[in-house]
A and B are shown apart, each in its own frame.
Chain A
Amino acid sequence: MKVISIVLVPFMTLTIIIYGYLKRIDIYSAFVEGAKEGLKTSIKIMPYLIAIFVSIGIFRGSHALYMLMDILSPIMEFVGIPVEVLPLLIMRPISGSGALGVVKDIIENYGPDSFPGQVASIMMGSSETIFYTMAVYFGSIGIKDHRYTLKAAMISYIASIFASVFVCNIFF
């Protein structure tokens, strides 16, 4: 599986280029034409990135996370989620790199094969950064009304939390 991840990029590039060449299209011009849009897109998403990075930075830097943990830990115990993974629960939808830092902390403190370590490892892989994704994807095309996207994403996220704890109970 790891091998697939590594060879996918060269393989995908090769397949597409060979296909284009055989279809006798001007692959060089097509590449340059497409690449132009990459520059535009990067600039377009920049203001959204600044808004998100700064707000998450302020939240993280203030250590307000600890306050949220105090509020939420009784609820966690009640529904059977290990309290140790609570910082990850809060961080995961907000920031990918922040969440990865938290996973590292949990694994280093409790060990990779401990129950919180296993739950954290699985939880990290079973959801994505909701806040960032929505801001950048909708922002890039100027959509203001996101309708039920956040609601559905949160439901899926909560499912991922319980699924992570559940599979750990079964497998470990």
Chain B
Amino acid sequence: MMSTIWFLLITIGIVYSIFSGTIGDINNIIIKEAGEAVTFAISLMGIMSFWLGIMNIAKESGFLERLSKFFSPVMRFLFPDIPKNHPAEGFILMNIIANMFGVGNGATAFGLKAMEEMNKLNKNKKKATNAMCMFLVINMSSVQLIPLTVLKIRYDTHSADPTGIVGPGIIATSVSTIVGIVAVKLFEKSDCS
């Protein structure tokens, strides 16, 4: 699936640029974007290490376990395959909390850690588990309560009510998250492979 999207993005891009006369830019784009990917990964290194350090304290001290106990009923419903008080639960919760409040780089660090922990429970290491699919779909449906960057644009363009979108936005993102969860639950049932 990933190969298909990747294939389409690149072939549509290059073929279209032949017709639109922008083929000369492709070279520069490749050089620039590849460089930016590396810069981005390196810029993540510091903050990611910081959060993973803090998270390790949370894990060793039993803080994560406490947190997952508190949210246990929800976690049981969403991730029935993850054993109770498994570290994956804590990381998933921390990822969702960080995402809700827009701490993006922290969320990535916790999310990757959650995936690693879930993979420890995985029998076939090449194949995604139900828990992983559920986690990613929740993550991709966005749980962010306040879209800070959008608010800034609205503020800069002199909106009469820059924050007026927050309430309706929370409704919209809740709908998308709930639909995502239902979709995963349905797929889980139909696809037991």
The chain A residues found within 8 Å of chain B, CB to CB, are: 1-2, 4-5, 8-9, 12-13, 15-17, 19-20, 23, 25, 27, 30-39, 41-43, 45-46, 49-64, 67, 94, 100, 103-104, 107-108, 111-113, 117-118, 121-131, 133-138, 140-153, 155-157, 159-160, 163-164, 166-168, 170-172
**CB <8 Å contact, B179 and A159:** yes
Question: Among the listed B1, B40, B54, B142, which residue makes an inter-chain contact with A146, where contact means beta carbons less than 8 Å apart?
Answer: B1
Sampled A-B contacts (18; CB under 8 Å): A2-B148, A9-B106, A20-B60, A41-B109, A49-B37, A50-B37, A53-B40, A54-B10, A61-B13, A61-B17, A62-B16, A121-B154, A137-B139, A141-B125, A151-B183, A151-B187, A156-B176, A168-B168
Write the chain A residue with the least CB distance to B56: A34
Residues on the B chain within 8 Å of A124, using CB? 147, 149-150
Chain A residues whose C-beta falls within 8 Å of the C-beta of B133 in the assembled complex: 146-149, 152
CB distance from A89 to the nearest CB of B (A): 14
A5-B101, A143-B128 as given contacts; A56 in contact with B33, CB under 8 Å: yes
Secondary structure dominating the interface of B: helix
Q: Are B57 and A59 in contact (CB under 8 A)?
A: no
B167 at the interface (CB under 8 A from A): yes
A165 CB to nearest B CB, Å: 9
Residues of B in contact (CB 8 Å), total 104
Docked-complex contact A54 and B37, CB < 8 angstroms: yes
Cα separation A100 to B53 with both chains bound (whole Å): 31
| Docked pose: A117 CA to B176 CA in angstroms | 20
A53 and B36 contact, CB distance less than 8 A: yes
A35 nearest CB across to chain B (Å): 4
**Given known A-B contacts A2-B146, A143-B125, A156 and B54 have beta carbons under 8 A apart:** no
Chain B 4-41: CB-based contact to A (< 8 A → 1; otherwise 0): 01100110111011001010011001101110111011
Q: What is the bound-complex CA distance between A19 and B29, given in angstroms?
A: 48
Query: What separation, in Å, do the CA atoms of A9 and B54 have in the docked complex?
Result: 11
The reply to whether A103 and B176 contact each other, CB–CB distance below 8 Å, is no
> Do the beta carbons of B14 and A62 come within 8 Å of each other?
yes
Among the stretches B68-76, B79-87, B156-164, the one at the interface with A is B156-164
Q: Given A31-B53, A152-B184, A167-B171, 13 other A-B contacts at CB below 8 A?
A: A17-B57, A38-B46, A38-B50, A39-B49, A49-B41, A50-B37, A60-B13, A107-B157, A113-B160, A126-B169, A127-B140, A137-B115, A159-B175
Enumerate chain A residues within 8 angstroms of B173, measured Cβ to Cβ. Answer: 125-127, 160, 163
- B51→A46 contact, CB < 8 A: no
For A152, the chain B residues whose CB sits under 8 A away are 133, 137, 180, 183-184, 187
The answer to whether B169 and A100 have CB atoms under 8 Å apart is no
Among A19, A20, A36, max chain B CB count under 10 A is at A20
> Which residue from B16, B109, B159, B191 sits with its C-beta under 8 Å from A148?
B191
Output the least CB separation between B158 and chain A (Å): 7
Max chain A Cβ within 10 angstroms of own Cβ: one of B41, B48, B102:
B41
Residues of B within 8 A of A59 (CB): 9-10, 12-13
